[in-house]
Amino acid sequence: MSEPVRILVVEDQYFFRLALRTTIDTRADMRIVAETAQGDEALPLCLSHKPDVVIMDLRLPGISGFEAIARIHRELPGLGILVLSNYEGSEDVHRALSAGALAYLTKDAGAEILVEAILSVKAGKRFVPPAIGALLAERVPAVQLTGRERDVLRLLARGCSNRDAGEQLGISENTVRIHVSRILDKLGVTDRTQAVLLAIQKGLVHVD
C-alpha cells in the first residue's frame, strides 16, 4: 500500500478546518500533517512537515494566500497547491493559478470533488472545474492555434520536453521549438508554463 497523501491546511476558519479533517481523516490514503490559520506560517510548515499537497485559503490574517502561494512556489516549485476559497471571481482565480497553485475550488465543493482535486494535485496535474475554467476563458480573447500547435501544447501540458514531444509527433526537436515559439506569440505569454495554464483555462487543450 502506498504512503498516504500528506496534506498541509492553511485556513483561518476553525470550523472549516474541522470540516476538512472530517472529510480527510476518514480516508486511509490521505492525512493532514499540519494546519495553520496564518499565511506567513505556510512556507515554514511546508519546509518542516514536507507535505505533498497544500490546501490554501486566499483571505488570511497576515500575508494573503496569494503571497503564501508565491513564496511556497518559489522555494518548493514541485509542491502541489490547491486553493479552496469562498471567492470565485476570475481575477482571484487567475492570480492564484499564476502565483503557482495547481487547482482552484470553491468551499461549497463536495467531498468527492475535493478528493479528486487533491489526488490530481498530488500527481502534479491541474484541476480546474469547468465552471471556473469558463470564467477564466472570459478574461482572454479568442486564440487560433493550428492542429499541430494544439498537439504540441497538449504534450507540453503533460510535461513533455521538446525532444519528447518531437518523438511522439514524429517531428524534429527544432520543429517543436518553432511551434512553441509561435504558440507563445499567439497566446501573448513568455514561457511554456504560462502557455499551458492559459490554454487549459481557455479550453484549448485538455489533459487526461
Domain that holds residue 158: 147-202
Same domain, 101 and 152: no
pLDDT over 70 for what percent of the chain? 89
Q: Do both 154 and 133 map to the same domain?
A: no
Beta bridge partners of 34: 8
Contact 46, 92 (CB under 8 A): no
Tens of pLDDT, residues 104-152: 998 888 899 999 999 999 998 888 887 777 666 665 555 677 889 888 9
Q: How many CB atoms lie within 10 A of CB 29?
A: 14
The count of structural domains within the chain is: 2
Looking from the CA of 61 toward its CB, the CA atoms found within 13 Å total 5
Radius of gyration of the chain (CA): 18
Task: Tell me, yes or no, whether 112 and 191 share the same domain.
Answer: no
Q: Are strands 53-56 and 30-36 parallel, antiparallel or unpaired?
A: unpaired
User: What does the CA dihedral 75, 80, 86, 87 come to, rounded to 10 degrees?
Assistant: 70
Q: How many CB atoms lie within 10 A of CB 203?
A: 13
pLDDT tens-digit profile of 60-85?
A: 988 999 999 999 999 998 899 999 98
C-alpha grid cell, residue 37? 490559520
Quick: pLDDT tens for 155-182.
888 888 899 999 999 999 999 999 998 8
Assess whether pLDDT exceeds 90 at residue 48.
yes
Asked if residue 22 has pLDDT above 70, the reply is yes
Question: In this structure, is the dihedral angle defined by the CA atoms of residues 91, 72, 201 and 145, taken in order, positive or negative?
Answer: positive
- Tell me the sheet residues that pair with 10: 36, 56
Distance CA 155, CA 165 (A): 6
Mean predicted lDDT score pLDDT of the chain: 86
State how far the Cα of 22 lies from the Cα of 18, in Å rounded to an integer: 6
Q: Is residue 207 part of a domain?
A: no
Q: What is the pTM of this model?
A: 0.68
Residues 120 and 187 in one domain: no
**Positive or negative torsion for Cα 193, 156, 129, 190:** positive
115 plus 16 within the same structural domain: yes
Residues 21 and 56 both lie in one domain: yes
Is 9 in the same domain as 84?
A: yes
What pLDDT does 20 receive?
92
What are the counts of helices (DSSP H) followed by strands (DSSP E) for the chain?
A: 10, 5
- Do 105 and 38 reside in the same domain of the chain? yes
Let me know if residue 33 belongs to a domain.
Answer: yes
Tell me, what CATH number does 171's domain have? 1.10.10.10
Identify the three-state secondary structure at position 5. Answer: strand
